[in-house]
Structure formats: structure tokens, C-alpha cells
Amino acid sequence: MIEFLLKNLKGTDWEMLTAFVSPVFFEVVPTIGMAKVFGVIVKDFANTREFDRVREATQETIGKINERQANQCQLVKSLTKKQDHRSLGLNERQAFGHLVLKIYFAQIFSKHKSILDLRSSAFAWPSEWAPKPVYYQWSDDFKSGLQDLYQGFYTNDDQLLTAGLSKLNLLHAKNVINGHFGEGEQDAVRFSLEHFKKSLHAVFVSCKQNKAKLHPDFFALGAYLLCLYENLEGLDCPLDVRRAFLEVVTP
């Protein structure tokens, strides 16, 4: 069923989602659970009233975070007057990328549902953010593991990072995931879809080799990350990911 639905994505705006669902992916994620996640996303697509509520809650969260960076927020608002963000200057592209990263992390750490559409086309004039109604509620256990993973990595807390990987059943792939994030302070990261796909495939292969099953929510997370990478790769500039993360999680 999932394979049939994915084939129907070809030729649409969401064709890129088929890129990360490799044959190995079907071997390490329970098919029934993945079909349920896909079904929820498709069903909710038509629930515009709920989407409006989710989007309002998300914008409120981002607004509170940006109150601590008033000048940057003002700059980001000016970006929306331009149709193509790739034509912006370096400082403007970095400010825009910083905003997108904060939206990504804020939704991971929010109690609300996450809007998955972070594609570049979702940030077009005249709206600051005009995503398609593709959103999802992470299960508590999955979100807890993901939060621990990010918190552990970006605060250099290896114990917390290990705990997050364990919750996600990914402890066996720790070296692969650390390799994906890269070394250094994460203050000048260039995003590459090709790098992301290779890292994801390596994680799936590790799961297969270790007979480990992934949580069905990885299907939604993969879509979320693909949208993020598509957008940030196009900006073609280094981004301070650690700073974006800390601005979101620091009270």
C-alpha cells in the first residue's frame, strides 16, 4: 500500500519524498506502523480548521523565541518581500536559513503538532510562511528520544545523546549519526541533500545489520528533514546550526 502511494507522488511537488524511502527502509520500519503514519498525514491534509490552529500555535511559539532577537526578526520580515530567496545577499540568506532552522527545532520541542512543509516554496511572497497543510503529532516516546539526541549533541552531553539514541533504537548507528552531524562547533554548516540521503541510507543499513526496527514516526521525520534540506541547500551558504538550536531551547 505504501509503495503504491509513494508512486503516486511522482510528478508532484512531493516527489522528493520518494528519494529517502529505499528498499532497506521498508525492511527496518514496520509496514503497518508506517502506513498508519502516512494515513494520518493524508487524512489531516483535508482538515483545514485543525491546520489553521496548528499553524497559529507554531507561529506564536516562533514569535516568542524571536522576541529575544528583535533586530534579526525585523530583518527576516523584510525577506518576505522578495520572491526568490536564492537571489538574496549572503547576510539575508543566512538570516532566512537561521529562521528556518529555528522553526525546525521549535516544532521538535513543542507540545503542538509539527508542520512538515519547510520547502523553499513554502516561504514565498507575500507570506512569511505559507506551508501546505502537511502536519503530524509525534508520539511521546519518539519525540523524547529525538529531543535527547539533539540536546545531547548540541550541548556536548554524550550521556544524553546516548540516551536519545537508545530510545530511538539507534545506539548501534551512533558513529554514523555523529558522522552525519560532522565535527566542530556546527557554526558554519552547509546543507547537502546528497549528504543527507547517504547518511540516512547508512542508518538504515546499520539497522538491517543489527536487526533493529525503527519507530514508524521516522517516516514523518524523513519528510520533515527532506523539506529542511531542500530549502537550506538552495541557500548555498554556511549556517550556525548550534546557535539556532540554543536560541530555541534556551529559556
The pLDDT tens digits for 136-147 are: 999 999 999 999
Question: Looking at the 3D structure of the chain, how many domains does it have?
Answer: 1
Contact 145, 164 (CB under 8 A): yes
pTM exceeding 0.85: yes
Cis amide linkage into residue 126, ω under 30° from 0: yes
Please, which pLDDT band fits residue 11 given cuts at 50, 70 and 90? low
185-219, pLDDT tens digit by residue?
888 999 999 998 889 889 999 999 999 999 999 98
Residue 239 pairs with which residues in a beta bridge?
189
pLDDT at 9: 56
| pLDDT of 101 higher than 80 | yes
d(CA 93, CA 222): 24
Domain of residue 47 covers 2-249
**What does the block give as the cell for 104?**
525546525
What's residue 191's pLDDT? 95
In this predicted structure, what is the pLDDT of residue 163? 97
* pLDDT over 80 at 71, yes or no: no
